[in-house]
Chains A and B, each alone.
Chain A
């Protein structure tokens, strides 16, 4: 009975798959410029479907709950790659199929989260820093993360809706590593963040741009990509690197296991690694490209932009987010939920 049921179902799902020349992308919102997608569609004749998730936890939950999720290409952050790979959720990559691989910055390859880039290709990297609207507060009065706890910011902060990014801030203030696995330290970070709650106006991840532009939040955390776009749109929105406390993140391209359109996924990855496309993506979204050749193609202003291509000294003491293992991740998630409930 169940088999008959499933047979009827698969019949229907075949109908809705709209042919085989398709690529199902599951990504952060607004993370690939429409221009680039259209160029890809034009060049290859492959139709691209773009679905979005809000954060890595949602991505992970979706893949786990539906192993035949139907997605061909996903964009996890570094700290979820290892966990997904260990749980067999990712398709191992044949780097020989990616001819444009050599354009990438070697310093961002073969890192701890994915040795030898067995499963992922770096897509865009960014820093997490502070944004302030100088109509409300003097940027020079803010130097480091702990400044956000000042009472003058009551109800003004936008805090990123990402457990790792936000806990990293508290961990840095406490002097710990952002990849700390010690439950006691995580608890201390939670307590510290609870003290920040009166200042927090909202947690947000996707709709950051209009919130800062409209003044619905006047200071808070920001990704460098968004900061780049915001500063260009309204120069009174200033980007501040907290001294020695910069947090780095990177998002990668990966293929989920059992992806229905494997070849199309490879084609897209390779397409994206072309220097001119990679430059287009970085310019379009504001995040930093791992593609060295692409940087050289950018206009001078961007090559020298402190936000998009920060000089090395700014990144002194910066830490990159990586996986902390199942146990610690569960602890983080638990306190993250408690934090939100405590608001």
Chain B
């Protein structure tokens, strides 16, 4: 009896979680503009998507920001995790605290704080402000991912290397870094996805000259449900699902 209950419950939950996504993908092939009913299968909307050059530019913008932000955030986060793991310095606890705060704090507050920063620096909103903002919200997540991994490493390895005369930099490059690669990649992917999906922070710090995908979808979504947006969203879902799968595979594989 409990077997059926557990199976039933799990299935119901998965249904709840996946139904809207499945409906979205199916309706992106719907041959009708307004209706909620099925009118026949068509590739039309995907064709229109790929022919829409301004949309492709916007997607490219999002991609560029995501790649740049993730990479820079990964560098900063990885170095930072190493530093906080190895060294003692003034303000170490405070820095931990700040990183923790940045993870907990709602995106809304981060977005506003950054808007206020750029405004007080008289900085125009656009590519640069967006990039800085994205790096900022990604760094704490990379940090936590890498740090979680680094503390489980065997400290004796480093001690041994140092006894043999290696400098900190060599220890980092030859020992720490290779062992951290799965976590670093996971951190990069997490940042990439977060950057690609971010709506709230980008909403406050972006400018007209450099449009990005999530904000485009956000304004399009307000206009109502259309098959083109369904098609666009389905594609994005596909990309993020692919990334999710890869990252899980990586993390599990190297346990």
Contact = CB atoms under 8 A, between A and B. Distances in A.
A120 B119 CA distance: 30
Interface string A35-75: 00000000000000111101000000010011011110000
A24 B124 CA distance: 16
A21 interface: no
B222 interface: yes
A26 B223 contact: no
A276 B94 CA distance: 66
A13 B127 contact: yes
A66 B207 contact: yes
A68 B124 CA distance: 8
A24 B34 contact: no
A209 B225 CA distance: 10
B208 A69 contact: yes
A9 B123 contact: yes
B190 to A, nearest CB: 26
B104 to A, nearest CB: 27
Contacts of B63: none
Contact of A210 (B128, B211, B224): B224
Interface size class of A (residues with CB under 8 A): 20 to 34
A330 interface: no
B91 interface: no
Contacts of B223: 29-30, 206-207, 210
B8 interface: no
B129 to A, nearest CB: 9
B160 interface: no
A2 interface: yes
B20 interface: no
B123 A24 contact: no
Contact of A207 (B125, B209, B222): B222
A70 B128 contact: no
A266 to B, nearest CB: 20
Contact of A66 (B54, B124, B211, B222): B124
Contacts of B209: 13, 16-17, 24, 70
Contacts of A292: none
Nearest to B54: A49
A252 B16 CA distance: 47
Interface in B196-254: 207-211, 219, 222-225
Interface in B110-142: 119, 121-128
B36 interface: yes
Interface of B: 34, 36, 54, 119, 121-128, 207-211, 219, 222-225
Interface of A: 2, 5-6, 9, 12-13, 15-17, 24, 26, 29-30, 49-52, 54, 62, 65-66, 68-71, 206-207, 209-211, 213-214, 233
10 contacts: A6-B123, A9-B124, A9-B128, A12-B126, A13-B209, A16-B126, A16-B210, A17-B209, A51-B208, A69-B208
3 smallest beta-carbon distances between A and B, as pairs: A210-B224, A207-B224, A207-B223
